[in-house]
Amino acid sequence: MELHTLKAHELQDKLRKKEVSATEIAQSFLKRIDAVEDKVQAFITRTPEAALAQARRVDEKIARGERLAPLAGLPGVLKDNICVKGTKTTCGSRILENFVPPYDATVAARLAGQDAVILGKTNLDEFAMGSSTENSAFFTSRNPWDLSAVPGGSSGGSGAAVSAAMALWGLGSDTGGSVRLPAAFCGIVGLKPTYGRVSRYGLVAYGSSLDQIGPLTRDVRDCALVMGAIAGHDPLDSTSVEAPVPDYTKALVPDLKGMKIGIPKEYFVAGLDPAVEKAIQGAIEQLRSLGAECREVSMPHTEYALAAYYLIATSEASSNLARYDGVGYGHRGQGNDIVAMYKRTRTEGFGEEARRRIMLGTYALSSGYYDAYYLKALKVRTLIRQDFDKAFDQVDVLVAPISPTTAFKIGEKVEDPLAMYLQDVCTVPINLAGVPAISLPCGFSGGLPVGLQIIGRPLGEEALLRAAYAFEQANDYHRRLAPVGEV
């Protein structure tokens, strides 16, 4: 069997038993990238020389008999809005096309401390603004299950790379579903941690009160491994939570006896594809057969979440993206005076969707409209958080769809921003509430994966992983390779 078809924990075991070297693993993945990247188009920047150099360092540690960190020698990718010192970080935007950070994001530094092998930086919707990667300034990544379909967004490059067996794991950022949606569309596992559980230092900001870095992996055990490597308090991030990081792998047990699962009725609404709903309902029955007690719960403010999210996120984007003015770094346009230079820089540097969200946010924050839009959205956010609090008084986790549909065709929704925004209807409430959620495959429709969403209380990642692992072990979805990944 080709090494790139194995899971991270399987290769970790082989490394420790000296059945394979880290260099051999890296070479296998680099060969795989050469074979399928032209079809999938997941990478903005590849770093093969650095990957092989890191792999050789791991082999030297093995030769000296040193103990290996959990991710040592295991190749992965980073979404291209996560800063890596000396490596181009574009955010999928022309305005940062040639930007090279002078520092590492905290997650990048933690991965380096684990001796993880980084294969490159992956494609995304510009500044993480999108659900399909079609908003990237450079190219659209493709779904390994159907090359004519989107891989989801905004972390579509990382999702596609992991799904196509070009990487064992990937990191993405999730502002309104941007880790979970690619995971669902690409048939892999994606975790959006509790807000503050993973440091945002070095993550280029889109919506600062919503953004959270999370792992994309091929199965739940790999997700637990990566989560353990990147989680934890960081003094460089003022929103970082001071709480001990558990060994997430200890939560992986194959039954759910005693677990109470809530089914929020508001997530099963008109517009949900019947085949998707059938797969989700089948998953709920399977969770019940594994010992869980399932009951319906109500979260009455869910219907307002999408509107509140797109006011809060765009307002924060307007503020965060104001720093790109052509003065300090990034693209600089030409103009006869500073105002003309600002205008030319931002017109040339930002794509259509980024400009749309900046303008929406600027309007919502403007004098005379702040109370009517942004402040009201913040009040709705509080109501949504209270819905979650009340639900978790009754149950341990919630189960819902990730998206109303499976992956759609490239170009199908790009001219209709509202239809694109509706893809996030089941994911944005989680970001507004700051709670964790995981996506994992629970079936197929028309040959495309369907994603199951399990939602937890704050810092409840262990319960999510337990439920996800039990469901995964009762199925074989995580063992299937996408068609472009067949060997």
**Residue 33 counted as domain residue:** yes
**Residue 157 counted as domain residue:** yes
**99 Cβ neighbours under 8 A, 6+ residues apart:** 88, 89, 90, 329, 330
81 and 19 housed in the same domain: yes
Neighbours of 271 (CB within 10 A): 8
Find out whether 398 and 264 touch, Cβ atoms under 8 Å.
Answer: yes
| Joined tokens for residue 197 | 């559980």
153 and 51 housed in the same domain: yes
Catalytic residues: 79, 154, 178
Q: Which of residues 378, 411, 444 is at a domain's end?
A: 378
Domain of residue 247, CATH code: 3.90.1300.10
**Residue 162 counted as domain residue:** yes
**Residue 236 counted as domain residue:** yes
12 and 142 housed in the same domain: yes
**Nearest by Cα to 396 from 327, 461, 304, 309:** 461
370 and 398 housed in the same domain: no
pLDDT of residue 417: 84
52 and 109 housed in the same domain: yes
**315 Cβ neighbours under 8 A, 6+ residues apart:** 361, 364, 365, 373, 374, 377
pLDDT of residue 418: 80
* pLDDT tens digit sequence for 246-302: 999 999 999 899 999 999 999 997 789 999 999 999 999 999 999 999 999 999 999
423 and 347 housed in the same domain: no
Q: How many domains does the chain have?
A: 2
Which H or E element spans position 262?
strand 260-264
3-state secondary structure of 8: helix
Q: Which of residues 326, 343, 378 is at a domain's end?
A: 378
Q: Residue 309 sits in which domain range? A: 303-378
Query: Beta strands 397-401 and 260-264: pairing type?
Result: parallel
453 and 336 housed in the same domain: no
Q: Which of residues 378, 405, 424 is at a domain's end?
A: 378
**Residue 248 counted as domain residue:** yes
Cis peptide, bond prior to residue 209, ω within 30 of zero: no
DSSP state of 123: -
400 and 308 housed in the same domain: no
Q: Please report which residue ranges of 332-375 form alpha helices under DSSP H.
A: 338-349, 352-365
pLDDT of residue 415: 85
141 and 248 housed in the same domain: yes
**Residue 405 counted as domain residue:** yes
pLDDT of residue 487: 43
244 and 317 housed in the same domain: no
- Report, as ranges of residue numbers, the positions in the chain whose pLDDT lies below 50: 487
Residue 403 backbone phi and psi in degrees, to 5: -140, 150
**Residue 276 counted as domain residue:** no
37 and 134 housed in the same domain: yes
**Residue 323 counted as domain residue:** yes
> b vs e for 372-401, b when ≥16 Cβ sit within 10 Å of the residue's Cβ?
ebbebbeebbeebbebbeebbeebbbbbbb
167 and 221 housed in the same domain: yes
Q: What is the pTM of this model?
A: 0.97
